[in-house]
Amino acid sequence: MSLKLSRRAFLGSAAIAGAATILPSRWALGATQSKTLTIEKRTIEVLGKAANVYGLAGPDGRQGLFLGADEPFAVTLKNQLDVDSIIHWHGQTPAPGLDGVAETGYVQPLAAGETREYEFAPRPGTHWMHSHHGLQEQRQLAAPLIVRTHEEEATDVQDVTVLLHDFIFRSPEDILSDLIGTTAVGEEGMAMGGMAMPGMESGSVMGGTSMMAMDLNDVQYDAYLANDRTLQDPEVFRTERNGRVRLRLINGAASTAFWIELGATRGTVIAVDGNDVEPVAGSLFPLAQAQRIDLLIDIGPGSIVPVFAQREGGRERTGVILAAPDVTIPRFSERADNEFGPVDLSLEARLRAKSNLEARSSSKSSVMLMGSMSPYAWNIDGNVWPNARPIKVQQGERVELEMMNHSMMAHPMHLHGHHFQVTSINGTPLAGAIRDTVLVPPMGRITVAFDADNPGRWLFHCHNLYHMATGMMGEVRYV
């Protein structure tokens, strides 16, 4: 079965909430041939064992999709699994029926063996794509989605892309079952409540006038992967002599936030979530789930630069190696000497967008992020999906959205179909980065602003997979 989807098919009806079906249509994007993406089963090696996982193979066999400047997003998506699936184009802003989700009612998941075509003009930058069906993202159904610009193609800089993930040999359904204390849920559905296990690890943060326990790391994983590999056998990227690398790091983990550590080397942040920022130099950078960071790193003669991604609140890490020609690569431990604390907003507070939203009057909305580890249940404003209260907006307006975290766990909040500017951290205004995912720390408060320029129904949720699965998902709805 094959279905043709294009942006034009949705422009006239995108604001109609809950549209069940869309008539197929064709949008001419030039002579570019459609690229095939295949949702597949594959086997990788983790800790010396064979691991059966899912994948998203591009036309050249690599995991992911890499587009050049001005190249349209013209994709034939094939589901070769024996179960339903659907792929969300994270960071892209097409019409709602092309977003790659089924929860808003525009389309259904791809059945086993089904083929579906997508066409739209892509947004440049470092993005990614992942399953938005059940818990498949935990089964490594995620891959890079890179769209380069003419400026990037004209520079003498080596492009390196790294997808980070967390891995466990157990099934994600069993993991969720343990978290909520019920019998296992099937891949086709998501649990919405029940009793829970207590928090596994904790740090401490200031809440009100007293210290309160902060919850970290819902799941204890077997390994952490960078491009499907651990530090037992890391991927090594050889550079030219005196080379410069644009390192595109994508946190595709289901529920793990990382610290990116360069050791004695300093890198420069030039973009986050696919959007340019004013340069910020450093050697240690926080990266929450679903966020991306682009770093410029110079590799001197004879240099080796290990790029580590270390789990927050722990010593476990993964990574890749950037190395000058002919340098012998030593072995690096999968456990760091020291722990880092919780991923925080230390970088967020320093980031400034290269291009700010134009100043204008705005409407204001607010949401409360709520829940706990025991019972293990998460929500927005006390409501769980699909019974969430929609954030109602009108086409053309500027929207300020305040997110208040009333829980003791951080939540990386992602808005589909839009990018927003971070405008306030805990009440302190700033002209921050343009993003599609922002971390809201425990008892913290983040305000973002976006233009309502893409009519329809758009998911808004925590990008910790198990938080979303237990109810922390809502929507922005145009009225």
The answer to the question of residue 275 being in a domain is: no
The answer to the question of residue 254 being in a domain is: no
In this predicted structure, the answer to whether residue 13 has a pLDDT above a threshold of 90 is no
- Condensed to tens digits (0 to 9), the pLDDT of residues 434-473 reads 999 999 999 999 999 999 999 999 999 999 999 999 999 9
- Condensed to tens digits (0 to 9), the pLDDT of residues 190-221 reads 433 332 333 333 333 333 333 456 789 999 99
Give the model's pLDDT for residue 336.
Answer: 98
Give dist(CA 138, CA 9) in Å, integer: 32
In the listed set 131, 150, 169, which residue is the last one of a domain according to the structure? 150
**Phi-psi domain of 61 (left: phi exceeds 0; alpha: psi -120 through 50; beta: other):** left
Domain count, the chain: 2
pLDDT band at 141 (very low <50, low <70, confident <90, very high): very high
Q: Which domain holds residue 41?
A: 2-150
In this predicted structure, the answer to whether residue 68 has a pLDDT above a threshold of 80 is yes
Give the model's pLDDT for residue 14.
Answer: 37
Burial 271-294 (b: 16+ CB within 10 A, else e): bbbbbbbeebeeebbbbbbbbbbb
Q: What is the mean pLDDT of the chain?
A: 89
Give dist(CA 193, CA 473) in Å, integer: 14
The answer to the question of residue 26 being in a domain is: yes
Output Rg (C-alpha) for the chain, integer angstroms.
Answer: 21
Rounded (5°) CA angle 366-90-478 = 40
Give dist(CA 359, CA 308) in Å, integer: 39
In the listed set 150, 169, 188, which residue is the last one of a domain according to the structure? 150
What average pLDDT does range 116-120 have in this prediction?
98
**Contact between 249 and 144 (Cβ < 8 Å):** no
Residue with the bigger pLDDT between 282 and 201: it is 282
The answer to the question of residue 324 being in a domain is: no
pLDDT band at 22 (very low <50, low <70, confident <90, very high): very low
- Condensed to tens digits (0 to 9), the pLDDT of residues 218-270 reads 999 999 999 999 999 999 999 998 999 999 999 999 999 999 999 999 999 99
- For 233, residues 6+ apart whose C-beta sits below 8 A from its C-beta are none
The answer to the question of residue 235 being in a domain is: no
Helix, strand, or coil here: 321? strand
The answer to the question of residue 64 being in a domain is: yes
**Any idea what DSSP says for residue 57?**
E
Cβ atoms within 10 Å, residue 263:
12
The answer to the question of residue 61 being in a domain is: yes
Give dist(CA 385, CA 469) in Å, integer: 9
Output the CA torsion sign for 127, 455, 359, 440.
Answer: negative
Straight-line distance from the first to the last Cα atom of the chain, in angstroms, rounded to the nearest whole number = 34
Q: What is the CATH number of the domain that holds 23?
A: 2.60.40.420
Q: Which amino acid is at 16?
A: I
The answer to the question of residue 417 being in a domain is: yes
In the listed set 92, 119, 150, which residue is the last one of a domain according to the structure? 150
Give the model's pLDDT for residue 213.
Answer: 65
